[in-house]
């Protein structure tokens, strides 16, 4: 008995059909492949297989589910270099960013505030220079958009607040997302301010927080100074 287990045929290649449909072929190669596929039963069968693949994808893994799962996996990847870690996440999350310096401020340990694990935050800025991470001590320009990214290190709840002299504004309150917050913001004030991030195992009432000392017992509190 002699079994044929396939392989490329004269002019036939499933990869070439894929590449044709993906728009990767040009010039003579494209024309030749189109002409071949139009009259080849084997390649017609490949086209049917590819159509079935597309149908299976739409049925089993619709785009929103796919995008969410990819973003989730990116967020939980082992931390490597900043650029390697964030560039792909940015792509998946709808961001593209330029590597910068990690900017994390931890308050001194007090009776009500403790540090745990590797909880950290990063603040990305979009201004006239493009997108970059806010450098330590860097100024925030007028009209700059700011986006906060959390690495909660297992904490369940988070709150982010903009603390200015005499005024505290809630930026975010909710689950401790691993990655960027859903909303960007602008700091429209002047002088100095502090971005205060509270990461806690218990629910955080953001409105009750005016400073790090108001954070729930055992919470991580991270502070990013802003100046203009």
Partner 1 sequence: MNVRGLRVVVGGAGEIAAPGAPAPAGLLAELYEKHAAGVYGRCRYLLKDEAEAKDALQDVFVKVLGALPEFRAAASPTTWILRIATHHCLNLLRARRALWRDQLRMAQAGRRQETESPDRRELVRLLLALASEEAQEIAVLYFVDELTQAEIAQETGRSLPTVRKRLREFLAGAREALGVELQGGDL
Nearer to partner 1, 113 or 133 (CB): 133
- Which ranges of 61-140 would DSSP assign to H, the alpha helix? 63-75, 82-93
CB neighbours of 49 closer than 8 A, spacing ≥ 6? Answer: 14
Check binding of 24 to partner 1 (CB under 8 A). yes
Do the Cβ atoms of 187 and 228 come closer than 8 Å? yes
Phi and psi (nearest 5°) for 91? -65, -45
Whole-angstrom Cα distance, residue 126 to residue 132?
A: 7
Least separation in angstroms between CB 114 and partner 1:
28
Check binding of 81 to partner 1 (CB under 8 A). no
Only segment of 49-57, 102-110, 204-212, 213-221 that touches partner 1 (CB under 8 A): 49-57
Check binding of 90 to partner 1 (CB under 8 A). yes
Check binding of 66 to partner 1 (CB under 8 A). yes
Nearer to partner 1, 22 or 108 (CB): 22
Of the candidates 124, 115, 116, the residue with the CA atom closest to the CA atom of residue 150: 124
Place of tokens 């975010």: 172
Check binding of 182 to partner 1 (CB under 8 A). yes
Check binding of 56 to partner 1 (CB under 8 A). yes
Sign of the dihedral defined by the CA atoms of residues 149, 152, 157, 158, in that order:
negative
Binding site for partner 1 (CB under 8 A): 1-9, 12-16, 18-19, 22, 24, 49-50, 53-54, 56-57, 60-61, 63, 66-67, 69-70, 73-74, 77, 84, 87-98, 124, 126, 130-131, 145, 147, 162, 164, 167, 169, 171, 180-189, 193
């Amino acid at each position: 008995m002699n079994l044929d287990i396939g392989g490329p045929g004269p002019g036939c290649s499933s990869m070439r059909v894929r590449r044709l449909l993906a728009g990767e072929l040009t010039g003579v190669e494209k024309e030749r492949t189109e002409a071949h596929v139009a009259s080849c039963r084997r390649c017609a069968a490949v086209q049917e297989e590819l159509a079935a693949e597309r149908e299976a994808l739409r049925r089993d893994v619709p785009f929103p589910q796919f995008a969410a799962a990819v973003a989730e996996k990116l967020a939980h990847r082992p931390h490597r270099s900043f650029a390697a870690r964030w560039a792909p996440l940015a792509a998946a999350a709808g961001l593209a960013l330029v590597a910068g310096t990690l900017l994390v401020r931890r308050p001194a340990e007090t009776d009500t505030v403790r540090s745990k694990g590797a909880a950290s935050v990063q603040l990305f800025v979009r201004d006239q220079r493009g997108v970059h991470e806010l450098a330590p001590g860097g100024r925030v320009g007028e009209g700059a958009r700011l986006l906060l990214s959390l690495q909660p290190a297992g904490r369940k709840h988070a709150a982010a607040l903009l603390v200015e002299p005499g005024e505290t504004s809630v930026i975010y309150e909710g689950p401790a997302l691993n990655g960027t917050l859903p909303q960007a913001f602008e700091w429209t004030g002047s002088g100095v301010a502090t971005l205060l991030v509270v990461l806690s195992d218990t629910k955080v009432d953001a409105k009750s927080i005016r400073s790090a000392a108001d954070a729930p017992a055992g919470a991580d509190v991270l502070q990013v100074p802003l100046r203009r």
